[in-house]
Structure 1
Amino acid sequence: MRRGPKDTAQMTAQVDALVQAAGQAANAGRWQDAERLWSQVRTLAPDHPQALYSLAIHAFQRGDFTGAMELLKAANAAAPDDPLILMTASVVQRERGDIDGEWQAIIDCLVIDPYFLPGMLSKAGFLERQGRTKAAANVYRDVLKVSPPEAHWPDALRTQLQHAREAVEAHTEAFDAHLQASLAGPRAALEIAATGRWAEAASILTGRTQPYWSNANQLSVPRLPPVPFFDRADFSWVADLEAATPAIRDELRAVQQTGQDGFSPYIAYNPGEPVNQWADLNHSDRWSSFPLWRGGVPVRENLDRCPRTARALEAVKMARISGLCPNAMFSVLAPHTWIPPHHGETNARLVVHLPLIVPPGCTYRVGYERRTWTEGEVLIFDDTLEHEARNDGDEPRVVLIFDVWNPLLSAAEQDMVQAMTTAARDFNTEA
């Protein structure tokens, strides 16, 4: 008997009412009522995927695995694009002891949606139970890549996601130990300057860290290699500058003895500007500076107070980039202060640190490499690589900071940098 539009609408309304009632019964823990209502839905609509799926869950809870699988197959036929149905089928197959059926259900689920987190976790868990811990760790690694940040992990998956992270960490530790043992011989044959490169290569290979690339806030010169720290021996002015450390430190101390006159917070965003990672240090004296050059302009009153430092800087070919360089300053980092990871303005220049006062507990990271400052020994680095600094000591840390040209640029390229930044500044300057 053919149904008319009115009959169809009435049946649809009846089914919808039963679906709502079944859901309410299940939420209230009235499982028998819920199953009865779902059965009524199935009587009216035999191919109703939600009814078939829910009845399969009831059968599974009763231990009727065969009946649950039949219902799940019918639900899958009715809703072939729903990965949850196949995900549930894999659980039933596992309880039945059908390993091949479990695996096939997981694969079929991921064919529908390769990024379905429960399916990915089930795949990793299956591999882990079969003793294939390395393959499982690789799947868990993919899980963590596509999962939301931990604060937004679904409660139903939180335990599994935590296990995924632990499995990846254990795999990384084991892989790293294997690499260290295997590479001991070849490492011994390396030149000292190359050891950092291959230590980082091993870290990237294990997944412990990602490659660090230059990320300039302003001008990025392409095809320059992302070198974290440059060799001091490649800069002719280093020896003379380091020899001047005691005199420069004396001038610093003389300036400090006059109070904080001339020192100001290094981070100073205006109200309404996004501060990002700088919220804790914005307008804070925990990271302060005494500028000698700022954005290519000499700060004369400060240079006059530090004549020996000014002469030392004059002997260095500082980078001159329109509106940006040179910069030079005494940088003071207060005890127990962290400068969070950030990037510099351009890889056309390098940044130089001459450490003047370094208490124990001060460290510096550029990209993968971590260093400790040594008083009187310069560090020269590309600050467009992610970098951060810590003073975990009990006294302030002070370094003299200034800019020099990246030595991998020719004189003609230095002129190109100047021309390009000048043109950009002119274009962006309002009349």
Structure 2
Amino acid sequence: MKEPDIDSADEARRVAAVNRYLSLDAPGDGALDRVTSLAARIFHAPIATVTVVDDEWVRCRAAYGLPTRLCQGRRATSLCARAIGHDGVSVVPDTLADPHAAADPMVSGEPGVRFYAAAPIVASGGHRLGSVNVMDTRPRQAGVEELDALQDLAAMVTGELELRLAAARTVATERELRAGAERLARTLQRTLLPPALPQVPGLRAAAAYHPFSADEVGGDFYDLFPLDGNRWGFFLGDVCGKGADAAALTSLVRYTLRAAAVYDPDPCTVLANLDAVLHQEHAGSQGPPPYCTAVFGVLEPDGDGFTVTLAGGGHPPALAVRAAGGVETVHPEGGQLIGILRDPHFAQVGTRLNAGDALLLYTDGLTEARTGTGAMLDGEGLAAYLAAAAPADADDLLVSVHKLIASLGEGVSDDTAVLALSVPARSTAAPFRSPGAT
């Protein structure tokens, strides 16, 4: 059985098709092993294989009755290579009576093949990739039903390979879409946060955003901006939901907080105005109301430090890290969720940041993270961690929080935004100069 002459252009296309499929399975593949087992049982033969043929080699993808190393070799002398040159089933009743078949090492050597039958594996484009083969160590004939069954098994292999190719393409497409979604999410997330915090005379400010998911936009936000005179406004919070809806709500909340603070910077009034805007946004809607938690504060320079006034709406308390050691909770008592209640109550509290003091605001993705014992970190755990870490300034605070989040690992299940403000210690603090001073 001699391999027919092959058109070079068509052969190049066939080899390209083989290469597409070769990466989809490997020797020892379970589905193809079952095909070889069925083929051997149907023919009552000791050997069956599934092979593919590239431009130089015959490669065994599954084998029954002998090691795969024995059923693969150079195309020039292989029975399997000659089988792909025929449309239907190829049969060699006695290999020793066929001079071309006798050149195959499996005929002249181990295992001494005397009978050979093969059905081509034909891809959807019509290219013959390889064959399902049955071999015996004695000459024999094959019945029509056996040969028909061999063709059916070859068609099953084709179907299996087509499914795998489709699955591989789907996975590749999904990876491309996910990568695109991640790029879009990162870009959109950046637009919801200030690109950089402004420089406040006499103060160090730093912020960070730790996303839980790379391909989903979160609703955590923060900002720091100038008010009238020497005063500065700042806020941090978390809107309900994820994705595009959360992004739209975050944009609305940030814009409203800034605008409300310019109109009247009283912290409770700012949160009340935000609450009114969210209620107005929901008016006439049948869906759940948009809501958020937030802390809004005003910084006012006072000597070598700052007076801080904070108002809270359902948000975790801020933490003041003191230069003398220790961490204090700064929490407006009774502040309620923003945008969901008919007449919410907002409360405010005052504190002072002296030289060497720092203030940390954070979202609940941090305190609701689980520790190694399975318990929530909570505010007390965070305060204890910061007291032990003793961060020196705003940048050091962010480093400490980053290390904490990294140590919690899979215990973190939500995004976390952090905003840190610190007054330099007296030894390094530059004297305060108001904007415009000479």
TM interval, short-chain normalised: under 0.3
What TM-score does the superposition give when structure 1 sets the normalisation length? 0.26
Which of the two has greater strand per residue? 2
What TM-score does the superposition give when structure 2 sets the normalisation length? 0.25
